[in-house]
Amino acid sequence: MYALADCNNFFVSCERVFNPSLNGRAVVVLSGNDGCVIARSNEAKALGIPMGCPAFQIKDHTDPRGVVQLSARHIVYRDMSQRVMMILGSEFEKIEVYSVDEAFFKLPDEDEEKLRARLVRLVEKIYRYVGIPVSIGFAPTRTLAKLAAEKAKKDPMNRERVKGLVRQNDIEESLSNTSIDDVWGVGRKLTKALRQRGVFNAWQLVQFPTSLLRSLFSITMVRTQAELRGIDSVSINPVDIAHKSIMNSRTFGHVIKSQREIADAVLNFAAHCAKQLRDEHSLARLVTVYVRGDHFREDLPFYSNSCQVRLETPTSGTPEIVSAALQAFHSIFREGFYYRKAGVMVSDIVDAGHVQLDVFAEQHASKTRKLMAAVDHINNALGKKAVTLVPQQLGKGEWKPTQSHTARQSATLHIHTGMSPIRKEKS
């Protein structure tokens, strides 16, 4: 048996943990620069606000004054996600984190009712310790478990928020009531192609001839069919290798003309890339910087360009990465233009433990490693901005995204990862 734990309306649920007054209200979380809706509460869904709806179009669906709009706080969401995954890992082995709000895990060979009772206690524990409502589905395969989790989430009568698809008659009934576009891994194009061949629900996909399915579609569809039949055919392996490239970029809150302000953004992006390289125990040989104007401003001249700088020695040192990024930026910056976006990418990445350097390069690299290890240690202990490059302290931050709907925290949250549940104290 496999189980899938799915955090309900995760971003909104995180905001409600810090601000309980949001409970029962229509709440949406907005993307960078407060552009569009990326998360909705059930109350917002009931108002007809679609996912991806531009913020200014909320008024087309309902009175915007009745909807709480919040700017996304991804650092908070990642932290809450780690807390949920930590509890899952304390109860079950080999957690397969699928996304920030979902994780698969294997269940022991126990009776169905015992498994259900154990999972109900897990749902209660996560809510008690972290404050996030979670739905769990369990079944013989991951695809069926994901379908079961969706059923548990959407069924208002299922207060335990746990759903099992174990018995064959339950599986058949559930698949018959599941539209083909609700099957995990079936996108719009596949939905259209399958409907043209008379496949409108998941049970019809199960009955579709496998040989014909293989000839018409990819092996992925054959595996999906096998999963729906109860045959374990999909695996999710944790990523244990470094990225081939690392990108950090932002769309500015408004167009910027100042070279110094854009250089400040590039500097911060490069420093972030360097930190991620160190976190992955990797080094990079290539630094790429790009700048771009605003496509939608017809009243402004448009300019876009990029530049690459190859490093003599692969590195993860912030000074070296930042220096190369600024060199690339100054070579492509043009006066008289307004810029809306910039980004830094490091690539040609190698494992830090498998690179051969000459004697002099190794001496310099050793000093850089010791320096950055000390900086990271201090920042981990005192805050990520405790020690930075001097230029990072000089910029005004005009390039930062617009977040005019930042949540006001009305409570200080104390979360314990041991045996104590969460406690809220008035600030």
Asked if residues 210 and 222 have their Cβ atoms less than 8 Å apart, the reply is: yes
Q: Which of 77-81, 120-124, 298-302, 366-370 has the lowest mean pLDDT?
A: 366-370
- pLDDT score for 252: 86
pLDDT tens digits for range 257-284: 989 999 999 999 999 999 989 988 889 9
Q: How many CB atoms lie within 10 A of CB 327?
A: 13
In Å, how far are 85, 109, 125, 162, 407 from 94, measured between CA atoms? 11, 15, 19, 20, 35
CA–CA dist 333, 304 (Å, integer): 9
- ∠ CA 128-88-164, nearest 5°, is 90
- pLDDT score for 423: 46
By 3-state DSSP, what share of the chain in percent is helix, strand and coil, each rounded to 5?
45, 20, 35
- pLDDT score for 378: 82
Helix runs in 92-186, H state only? 112-129, 142-154, 168-176
pLDDT tens digits for range 281-340: 889 999 999 999 988 888 889 999 999 999 988 899 999 999 999 999 999 999 999 999
The more confident residue out of 237 and 249 is: 249
- pLDDT score for 419: 40
Q: Which of 149-153, 161-165, 261-265, 420-424 has the lowest mean pLDDT?
A: 420-424
| pLDDT interval class at 124 (50, 70, 90) | very high
| pLDDT interval class at 412 (50, 70, 90) | very low
363 three-state secondary structure: helix
Question: What's 385's DSSP letter?
Answer: T
pLDDT tens digits for range 362-392: 666 778 778 888 888 888 777 767 777 766 5
- pLDDT score for 425: 44
What domains can you pick out in the chain, each with its CATH number?
1-166+406-427 (3.30.70.270), 168-238 (1.10.150.20), 245-393 (3.30.1490.100)
In Å, how far are 278, 296, 374 from 323, measured between CA atoms? 17, 32, 20
The mean pLDDT of 233-249, rounded to a whole number, is: 67
Question: What is the percent of the chain with per-residue pLDDT over 70, rounded to a whole number?
Answer: 86
Q: What is the pTM of this model?
A: 0.69
